[in-house]
Chains A and B, each alone.
Chain A
Amino acid sequence: MVANRSSVQPNSRSWHKRFPGLSQWLEALPYLLPTIIGFFVFILGPVIASFLLGFTEWDLLTPPKWIGLGNYQAMLFDTPLFWTTLRNALYYTLLFVPGAVILPLFIAVLMNQHLRGVTFYRSVYFLPVVTSTVAVALVWQWLYNPEFGPINYLLKMVGIKGPAWIASPEWAMPALVLMSVWQVIGYNMVIYLAGLQGIPEEYYEAAAIDGATRWRQFFSITIPLISPTTFFILIVSIIGSLQVFEQTYILTQGGPAYATLTIAYYIYQQAFQFFHMGFGAALSYVLFVIILLLTLIQFRVQKRWVFYN
């Protein structure tokens, strides 16, 4: 019966039957074509090219010269600045991540009480997110001015002599982080707010009936149930910390005394100011591997603290 029916099928249709996958692919292909081209030309191709470039010396003018592991050797053993960028990345991450996680959560929890004017608050906190880091950094540069800036003026009013901020090697990095936290609060707060609204009200009601205090509720209900959101923000914040570029470009250009030289800025300098394309590519691969490792570690560790419903 079955065989009979298939033999009746017109011949042109039979390959559709024989290779159903292929015909489905042909149907999907026109839709996927731009993305597939983009994947090969702008993602996979460059990822491979970057890997290969990392083994060459190339100034864009003369043909690239294969130097094997030369760039990586130079980086690890003869370039103290490379270690400076790693130390700066660590310092930035340690300062930035707590601020980028705790402050937005705190504000989101405050907003999640069905307060009046939440929409207004949200739009104000979100303002720095939509504006460019360039414009924002220009103002902060002025706010940080040690002599005429309003921040040191406020500090002076309460009897503190403010530091030189971005002009001082000790304070430049904290100043950079402060501005970045200010800029990211609204973004992370909106994500937290969405997460908080997904926690059923009944949990809190039940806890309140059992006599749990607000603090107790926060630590026993909110923190565990919001942990997937925290995990996401943590990953994004750490990756972001390793890629800081614009803040440095506008505020400090890596200085003073390399105190704010970030990996991303160093790559930019090496590749596009000194035209050390090979060395820049090698640096970018180190960054890639660090990000990959850190993310993998976090996905491993998350099982211990992230709570999925």
Chain B
Amino acid sequence: MNIPSTSTRSTSGQPTLALRKPFSARQVNKVTRRLLSHLILVAGCVVMAFPFVWMFLSSLKTDAEIFIFPPHLLPETPHWSNYQAVMDSMPFGWFVFNSFKISALAAIGQLLSCSLAAYAFARIKFPGRETLFVIWLACLMIPYQVNLIPQYVLFRSFGWLDTHYPLIVPSFFGGVFGTFLLRQFFLTLPSELEDAARIDGCSRFGIYWRIFLPLSKPAIATLTVFVFMSNWNNLLGPVVYLSSYEKMTLTVGLAFFRGQYTTQWALLMAGAVISVIPIMAIYAAAQRYFVQGVVLSGIKG
């Protein structure tokens, strides 16, 4: 196929090259292929983002505007008062606080317990280490439903129902994903560092605390955002354990809110926006750690 040079000029953006030598069919193909890819990806982005746009715009509508057919995308005038109404009708401030508290403490617990175990699995030689690690990884196969009922019974006997303890305390006692992630990272740290530190009189714990942890900031950041996100979005745990409003997290609070205001869509959407904004802000700030966490969860398989 021979394409006139003038037509390739506009698409190529390299007129001098195009004038001298007409682009081959292969290169033109490449340009159209890229264009088509962009088109499909943009269309996909619209599909991905639309529910969020709809959520936000609906949260600013009046009830009358919600029930219009055909639906309008934009509200006539933005009703920011919907947000005030949501905050007044339910203790959303508490929901946000509780979600933050639980997610942050769970992240701290996972960091401490997983990094300790990961250090032992990566750096301390002891008999049966590999077997133990494989057993630990195999725990991933157990569906959470199996543990849910006995754990409920256990926490109930502690008198921990309708407290935050069942959602926080287990995080301080290890986690498979976190141990795996940090162990992989610790294995990449050069052993010379350890030797040098030991010669300088650094204890085992000192090596872990003063050398390994500070050097593992990327892995720690990845684990933190991952644990934070999964606790922030967790529904089943809060649904099972929490019953009074001031203890609830955003997810269960939102679900309750839905049960009471079934048809007040503008308020529901405002509540959803409130629940989504903090995690999206964290995502915007630490995007690469989120992505890193996902990639590592894939390698594990």
Contacts and interface: CB of A to CB of B under 8 A. Distances in A.
Contacts of B232: 132
B116 interface: yes
A210 interface: no
A interface majority secondary structure: helix
A262 to B, nearest CB: 11
Chain B interface extent, by class: 35 or more
Contacts of B301: 228, 231-232, 235-236
B239 interface: yes
Interface stretch (B5-13, B74-82, B136-144): B136-144
Given A46-B150, A136-B51, A281-B149, A122 B258 contact: no
Contact of A39 (B49, B136, B149): B136
Interface stretch (A10-18, A92-100, A239-247): A239-247
B1 interface: no
Nearest to B116: A31
Interface stretch (B86-94, B192-200, B288-296): B288-296
A288 B146 contact: yes
A162 to B, nearest CB: 12
A138 B21 CA distance: 57
Contacts of B40: 110
A28 B299 CA distance: 27
Given A38-B174, A134-B275, A249-B235, A125 B45 contact: yes
A107 B38 CA distance: 11
Interface stretch (A68-76, A78-86, A144-152, A169-177): A144-152
A102 interface: no
A41 interface: yes
Nearest to B44: A107
Contacts of A132: 232-233, 235, 250-251, 254, 275-276, 279
Interface in B146-190: 146-154, 156, 170, 172-175, 179
A191 B299 CA distance: 8
B134 interface: no
B149 A277 contact: yes
Interface of B: 33-34, 37-38, 40-41, 44-45, 47-49, 51-52, 54-55, 58, 66-71, 112-114, 116-117, 119-120, 124-127, 129, 136, 139, 141-154, 156, 170, 172-175, 179, 204-205, 208, 229, 232-233, 235-236, 239-240, 250-251, 254-255, 258, 265, 268-269, 271-272, 275-276, 279-280, 283, 287, 290-291, 294-295, 297-299, 301
Given A60-B153, A243-B145, 8 more contacts: A24-B126, A32-B120, A38-B113, A138-B258, A139-B52, A143-B51, A285-B146, A288-B142
